[in-house]
Amino acid sequence: MAQDELIVTKTDLDGKIRYANRTFYKFADYEPVECIGVQHNIIRHPEMPRTVFKLLWDTIKSGEEIFAYVNNRSKNGDYYWVFAHITPSRSADGSIIGYHSNRRAPNRNVLHNHIQPLYTQLLDIERNSTSPKDALAAGETHIHDLLKSKGMSFNEFMFALGV
């Protein structure tokens, strides 16, 4: 991604895409008709740890925002890393009516030196677990211990790595 590019999508409460900007389609290599009303995992990359998506959903469902590095897969099989901000969208009465995400070019040094090693560790932990449930629990414990050792929340940790 170029530094001035922004990928935007909006989803309903279930994570089905309701809006995507042109930059999304450019990178994802899909047409709108293939994406609107479809689960956002259409661009899920198989090498993304499930733990990260669990953290993402737990955070936004609780009404908080999250910043996270995500590796996505295009229709043509390419991959593209982004630094994503995902946040709930609220109605006038404050209830959550959907979700919104903006992504920009990741910091390559942070990606190579911190995020990719962390995600590789998480994938190893998940793959060495005996069940999908254990995999998520073990992944969450790993993140929890890491953040505890830093004395930071997940978002604080992301920004402490540098942007």
Ligand X SMILES: Cc1cc2nc3c(=O)[nH]c(=O)nc-3n(C[C@H](O)[C@H](O)[C@H](O)COP(=O)(O)O)c2cc1C
Residue numbers of the site for ligand X (CB under 6 A)?
9, 11, 15, 40-41, 43-44, 50, 53, 56, 70, 72, 86, 99-101
**Max intra-chain CA distance, the chain:** 46
Residue number, 81 or 142, with CB nearest to ligand X: 81
**Min dist. Cβ of residue 160 to ligand X (A):** 23
Whether the CA torsion 23, 24, 28, 31 is positive or negative: it is: negative
User: CB 77 → ligand X: shortest distance, Å?
Assistant: 15
What is the number of alpha carbons within 13 Å of residue 4 lying toward its C-beta? 0
Q: Which two tokens stand for residue 148?
A: 């505890």
Residue nearer to ligand X on the CB measure, 10 or 152:
10
Closest to ligand X by CB, 15 vs 152, is 15
CB of 148 to ligand X, least distance (A): 25
Q: What are phi and psi of 108, to 5 degrees?
A: -65, -35
